[in-house]
A = this chain, B = another copy of it.
Amino acid sequence: MQISNYIQQSFQVNYAYRVFFSDHIFEPTNTQLAAWLREQASPHYRKRLLVVADDGVWQSHPYLQAQVSAYFQAVKEVELAPEIIVIPGGEACKNDEALFFRLVDAIDKYAIDRHSFVIGIGGGSVLDLVGFAAAVSHRGVRHIRIPTTVLSQNDSGVGVKNGINFKGKKNFLGAFAPPAAVFNDAHFLTTLDARDWRAGMVEAVKVALIKDAAFFEWMEGAATALAARDMDAMQKLVFRCAELHMQHIGGGGDPFESGSSRPLDFGHWSAHKLEQLTNFSLRHGEAVSIGIALDSVYANLIGWLDKPSMERILHLLQQMGLPLYHPLLDMQAGATSPVIKGLEEFREHLGGRLTICLLKAIGQGAEINDMDVTLLQQAGDILKQLTVVSQ
């Protein structure tokens, strides 16, 4: 028998899922979800379903408890677990280790195996937690996402990441685990509070700025309607934003982020720091709006982005009711803003070399490996002036 120095392993894994768009998905006459479940049915096996819901959604839509049970019970090809698990919504659920283990327990108790489904209904926080609990149970139970916020319908819920916080470290524990399917129901968005409605739109601005000038122009035209909670405009925004995110993930060559290029994190380096420094009193989207503003002014200062484009960006964010500035951008006692100081931490986090996406033009992001702290502070000061003047 021959032996050699090493054996080379290599293989591919294929992933595929659909993101559906509809509304009132649990009304008996809406067959989209039921039809999908029937397509998954196996002749030898009745798949089981475990539903985990966001209490914020359950409170805003009290009819859901009965409607959801009735809907799934009517699909004879599947078997709904006897309990719908309702958990607190919002970031807090991602900090709660006991809640994670409660979900794992329920997956065990209700015999949700690798042929069955866990269904998360809620905002990005609940979906991140539910997706992670499913991803590690039985080495990967499939999960279906039903996102209920703008952010989760157009960004977090249509992608491949899941996770929870660990000892205050955001998303420290998590997995890349694509959903089995996603069902975006526009009706849920009607009950969002004003800040969540607005904050979710910023991911559309972000992805338009780096990839799709036409979409940006469309948002300029629709800005007033969007700010006034026009549902038709919002559904279009959600659709195109989800599509651009999905195209990047599926077509960008690095769906599970093994490299260090992250164009979808445009505007995010300072946003993450702002969220942290404000103890998450800023919504993610609000922080990203400020981050986009900062990096757009910076791009203009280094000669990448022309001034009219920069002004269009700031104007669109303002029309959407999103902030451009926060006092943490100011110099503190003569020293650089603590947000801008975060750049150094971010550089270390990346392992010594920055890879940041900045704008060459509207619709055209490009990578840069260095940013000048003095110029960044200048950008922060410009935003302060603009905001003070406009108030």
Mark A residues whose CB is within 8 Å of B: 1, 3-22, 32, 42, 44-47, 104-105, 108, 113-115, 132, 135-140, 158, 161-163, 166-167, 169, 171-176, 178, 215, 218, 235-236, 239-240, 242-243, 246, 249-251, 255-258, 260, 349, 351-353
Q: Report the Cα distance A45→B352, complex, angstroms.
A: 6
Which residues of B are found within 8 Å of A255, using beta-carbon distances? Answer: 11, 13
Q: Is the interface of A mostly helix, strand, loop or mixed?
A: mixed
Q: Report the Cα distance A249→B12, complex, angstroms.
A: 11
The one of B10, B240, B349 that contacts A14, using a Cβ cutoff of 8 Å: B10
Which residues of B are found within 8 Å of A46, using beta-carbon distances? Answer: 351-352
Which residues of B are found within 8 Å of A140, using beta-carbon distances? Answer: 175-176, 256
A22 contacts B44, CB within 8 Å?
A: no
A256 contacts B13, CB within 8 Å?
A: yes
- How far in angstroms is the closest Cβ of chain B from A370? 12
The one of B10, B45, B235 that contacts A351, using a Cβ cutoff of 8 Å: B45
Q: Residue on B with the closest CB to A238?
A: B3
- What's the number of copies of this chain in the assembled complex? 2
Which residues of B are found within 8 Å of A21, using beta-carbon distances? Answer: 3-7
Which residues of B are found within 8 Å of A8, using beta-carbon distances? Answer: 16, 18
Q: Report the Cα distance A46→B136, complex, angstroms.
A: 30
A175 contacts B175, CB within 8 Å?
A: yes
The one of B105, B114, B173, B236 that contacts A3, using a Cβ cutoff of 8 Å: B236
B167 contacts A108, CB within 8 Å?
A: yes
Q: Report the Cα distance A139→B131, complex, angstroms.
A: 12
| A7-B18, A7-B19, A44-B352 known; A139-B163 Cβ under 8 A | yes
Which residues of B are found within 8 Å of A5, using beta-carbon distances? Answer: 20-22, 32
Q: Residue on B with the closest CB to A18?
A: B6
B9 contacts A108, CB within 8 Å?
A: no
A351 contacts B42, CB within 8 Å?
A: yes
